[in-house]
Structure 1
Amino acid sequence: MTPAARISAAIEVLADIETRRRPATDALKDWGLSHRFAGSKDRAAIASLVYDALRRKSSAAWIMGEGTPRATVLGMLRLQRGLSVEAIAALCSGERFAPEPLTPAERDRLETASLGEAPAPVAGDFPEWIEPSLRRLFGDDLVPEMQALTARAPLDLRVNALKVSSREEAHDALPHLGAVETPLSPLGLRITPGEDGRGPAVQSEPEFLKGWIEIQDEGSQLAALLSAVTPGEQVVDLCAGGGGKTLALAAMMKNHGQIYATDNDARRLAPIHDRLTRAGVRNVQVRTPRGKADAVTDLDGRIDCVLVDAPCTGVGTWRRNPDAKWRLRPGSLETRRKEQAAVLDRAAALVKPGGRIVYITCSVLPEENDDALSDFLGRQEGFSPVPVPKVLQGAGLGRLDGAVRPTVLGLQLSPLKTGTDGFYVAVLRRSP
């Protein structure tokens, strides 16, 4: 397919998303099934165009003066891809499979319109209804913080200390990937995605298959490190899901002590078994719930550290899931808050005197972070927040001081401040 034909396809997919109100992944899959002549590179390039358009949906509409799929793509090409008006016009030739030529009005908008007077939700490309929440956290940095969430995310890898002696050893074994060391996590390697938005097929690399590396955003790596788990401790990963943080904790504990990995959705635990085997992990018990039965009741009051990777809206991952922001509704936030309260209360019962809860979300909304913990502290006696400087020092991550955004009860990572997804981390200590 020609670049112009890919533009036409992206407009078609966006129209399908808008008409049928469904996730981008579903629309892209259906387009691929009905256009089997398109090769894998074509499908990847079209997906990249669609996701870039969704990243800049609001600002592109402002630039073009309308929010049609065509206008969104044209505005994105200027804002996100940095194409000149002439380059965009060349793609819109009206020839076979190419979009129709630019109208005089479209050309004028591309040449003259700017975001200078755009309101924050437009300039930052986020739903208007969450502006008050975001402004509570970011203040005057709101627009640049949210603009950072419109960029493409890199592909981050975590080096598995159970299999590799150093990050340098893993880096030297993967010269063809063009990876560089992550600036904040001592275990991370970073790969910049290609122009088509795709990264290398890391899962097929021999080093991945041998368990040397895992795919994990640097922010997620830091969240695990901030738990400061040590060999010999008793740990529960209460929302383990596919096991990304469980694996990181096991490496930190050098396979000594015990980790109990569980999740209230048994289906989410399915991938964890193969991942544990590949990573050489031997100190994890996977506790799969049966129906509504609690899988860790026998551990109440015995646990040194409960990791709560809480269910949340995922606002901090919008770089990776740009269509999710336009599907977020106030009811979703309220549902997540109820789930967070339930899992925090469950964690409280597990922690022994002197133990700790490490609360993590991939959100930048205060309602899911400080507010959720403030409500918890009002319900549960005997817990107090550990000051951020002590959290950083205890994890050996003093380098984060000045990079993270401290909040009242925890700390916030963000693409603008730390170059990571928007993770929130707080540590609550139970009194002895």
Structure 2
Amino acid sequence: MKDGGRLSAAIEVLTEVETRHRPVQPALRDWGTSHRFAGSGDRTVIGNLVFDALRHKSSLTARTGSSEPRMQILGTYVFAWGNGIDRLKEVLGEDPHSPEALNEAEESALANESVDDLEPEVAADVPAWLWPYFEAAFGDNAVNEGKALATRAPIDLRTNSLKSDREKLLKRLAHVNAEATSITPTALRIKAKPGASRMPHVQAEEGYRKGWFELQDEASQIAAALACAKPGEQVLDLCAGGGGKTLALAATMDNKGQIYAYDSDRLRLAPIHERLQRSSVRNVQVRDPASSNLDPLKEAMDLVFIDAPCTGTGVWRRRPDSKWKLSEKALADRLEEQRKVLDTAKEFVKLGGRIAYVTCSILPQENGDQVKRFLAENSDFEAVDAIAIWKHVFGEDRLPAYVTEEGGVTLTPATTETDGFFFALLGRKTD
């Protein structure tokens, strides 16, 4: 396919996403199924166009004067991909499968390179109703943080220290340009590529099949490391999902002690079994929510790890469509779920034990405010200074820029080059 046909396909997919409120991945998959002539390279370009259009939906609308899928895709090709109006006009005229030629108003809008006078939330590509929360979280850095969340995410890998080490993996993955990251000693990164470029399929690598590494953003690796799970401890991963942090905790514990992996949704938990086997993790018991009773674990855990349900504002780079679907009701629902899971978690912590509270959100309501509420209602718990732990685990380089009154830390693409994540540690007092 030529670029004109790819632009038409991207407009078709984005129209499907916008008008039928469909998730992007199923819409792309269905388009590929019904257009077998499109190769994998074509599907990559089409997907990149659609995702980038969603990443920059607000600013593209302001710059092109239209929120329609046609102008969103054409604006992405011209502005975000840097092709310019002249190249677009060439593309529209060289292929019968291309979109229609530009009318006068469209050409004028796409020829204007100025990005002056955009409202802050528009420049940041943040939904207007969320902008006050961004300002509360980041102050003068709010626009830069929003822009960073509108970029493409890299591929981050976690070295499975039970089977390999980072130096060995760097050599084996040199052909995909994997690099060591600057915070954790376990993370490797393949930087995001611009425009039509294709990222490597790392799950096809020998190292993935043999369990030498897992796909996991460095922020998630940092959260698991800051929990400081020690060999021999008893750990409950209360919202284990697919098991990424369970695996990281098991490696930190050197396969010693016991981790109980639980999730209220058994479908989310399903992938963990194959991942445990591939990674040679032996100290994990998976507790199926349909048949398991967690009562025997009450007041017996050294650590309860909570990867809490949240709005996912910290992972907009990876799921840009979710940015524009998020509602105030959804935020309220997540806040209630977080309160419940924190109140459940405290029942399993022994004296002197701790709760690691983690979200992939950057909103204060889901992070510091939840910690503050929990501590106000539970006098037998106290905040543990995450910065002190950070210095102990990672040293004093690259300290987080955002720290709450209670000592929790927020990671962001703009400051730590990771997904947006929050981490707080809450210790149960011994008297």
What is the TM-score normalised by the length of structure 1? 0.95
Tell me by how many angstroms 1:123 deviates: 0.8
The structure-2 alpha-carbon separation of the partners of 1:273 and 1:367, relative to structure 1 and needing over 3 Å to count, comes to same
Tell me by how many angstroms 1:84 deviates: 1.8
In structure 2, the residue matched to 1:200 is 200
Tell me by how many angstroms 1:279 deviates: 0.7
- 1:335 pairs with 333, 336, 351, which one? 333
Q: Which amino acid aligns with 1:186?
A: P
Tell me by how many angstroms 1:400 deviates: 3.4
Q: Which amino acid aligns with 2:242?
A: G
SS at match of 2:188: strand
In structure 2, the residue matched to 1:398 is 396
- 2:368 pairs with 349, 355, 370, which one? 370
What is the rounded CA distance, in whole Å, between the counterparts of 2:197 and 2:260 in structure 1? 36
In structure 2, the residue matched to 1:357 is 355
Q: How does 1:310-321 map to 2 (within 5 A)?
A: 310-321=308-319
Tell me by how many angstroms 1:95 deviates: 3.9
In structure 2, the residue matched to 1:347 is 345
The structure-2 alpha-carbon separation of the partners of 1:22 and 1:252, relative to structure 1 and needing over 3 Å to count, comes to same
For the pair 1:133 / 2:130, whether they are aligned, the reply is no
Spell out, residue by residue over 1:152-184, the C-alpha distance to the aligned partner (whole angstroms, 9 max, x if none).
1000111111001x3101111222221111121
Q: Which amino acid aligns with 1:355?
A: G
**Can you give the 5+ residue segments of structure 1 that lack an aligned partner in the other structure?**
none
- 1:417 pairs with 409, 415, 418, which one? 415
The structure-2 alpha-carbon separation of the partners of 1:302 and 1:6, relative to structure 1 and needing over 3 Å to count, comes to same
What is the rounded CA distance, in whole Å, between the counterparts of 1:279 and 1:86 in structure 2? 51
In structure 2, the residue matched to 1:408 is 405
What is the TM-score normalised by the length of structure 2? 0.96
Tell me by how many angstroms 1:283 deviates: 0.8
SS at match of 2:36: coil
In structure 2, the residue matched to 1:169 is 168
Q: How does 1:64-83 map to 2 (within 5 A)?
A: 64-83=64-83
- 1:386 pairs with 384, 387, 391, which one? 384
The structure-2 alpha-carbon separation of the partners of 1:204 and 1:95, relative to structure 1 and needing over 3 Å to count, comes to closer
In structure 1, the residue matched to 2:179 is 180
Conservation of the 8 A alpha-carbon contact between 2:342 and 2:374: yes
Conservation of the 8 A alpha-carbon contact between 1:219 and 1:423: yes
SS at match of 1:97: coil
Tell me by how many angstroms 1:44 deviates: 1.6
Q: Which amino acid aligns with 1:378?
A: A
Moved more, 169-178 or 216-225: 169-178
In structure 1, the residue matched to 2:303 is 305
**Can you give the 5+ residue segments of structure 2 that lack an aligned partner in the other structure?**
none
Q: Which amino acid aligns with 1:422?
A: G
What is the rounded CA distance, in whole Å, between the counterparts of 2:260 and 2:153 in structure 1? 31
What is the rounded CA distance, in whole Å, between the counterparts of 2:235 and 2:397 in structure 1? 26
Spell out, residue by residue over 1:134-167, the C-alpha distance to the aligned partner (whole angstroms, 9 max, x if none).
1100111111110011111000111111001x31
In structure 1, the residue matched to 2:41 is 41
Spell out, residue by residue over 1:371-415, the C-alpha distance to the aligned partner (whole angstroms, 9 max, x if none).
1112212222211111232221343443332x4421223111001
In structure 1, the residue matched to 2:189 is 190
The structure-2 alpha-carbon separation of the partners of 1:245 and 1:397, relative to structure 1 and needing over 3 Å to count, comes to farther
SS at match of 1:100: coil
Tell me by how many angstroms 1:120 deviates: 1.9
In structure 2, the residue matched to 1:153 is 153
What is the rounded CA distance, in whole Å, between the counterparts of 1:174 and 1:388 in structure 2? 33
SS at match of 1:157: strand
What is the rounded CA distance, in whole Å, between the counterparts of 1:153 and 1:414 in structure 2? 12
Conservation of the 8 A alpha-carbon contact between 1:92 and 1:101: yes
Q: Which amino acid aligns with 2:133?
A: S
Conservation of the 8 A alpha-carbon contact between 1:64 and 1:113: no
Tell me by how many angstroms 1:194 deviates: 4.3
What is the rounded CA distance, in whole Å, between the counterparts of 1:34 and 1:273 in structure 2? 33
What is the rounded CA distance, in whole Å, between the counterparts of 1:197 and 1:364 in structure 2? 29
Q: Which amino acid aligns with 1:27?
A: A
What is the rounded CA distance, in whole Å, between the counterparts of 2:325 and 2:420 in structure 1? 18
Tell me by how many angstroms 1:240 deviates: 0.5
RMSD: 1.6
Tell me by how many angstroms 1:94 deviates: 6.9
The count of aligned residue pairs is: 428
What is the rounded CA distance, in whole Å, between the counterparts of 2:345 and 2:103 in structure 1? 59
Question: Sequence identity of aligned pairs in percent?
Answer: 47
In structure 1, the residue matched to 2:241 is 241
SS at match of 1:428: strand
SS at match of 2:199: coil
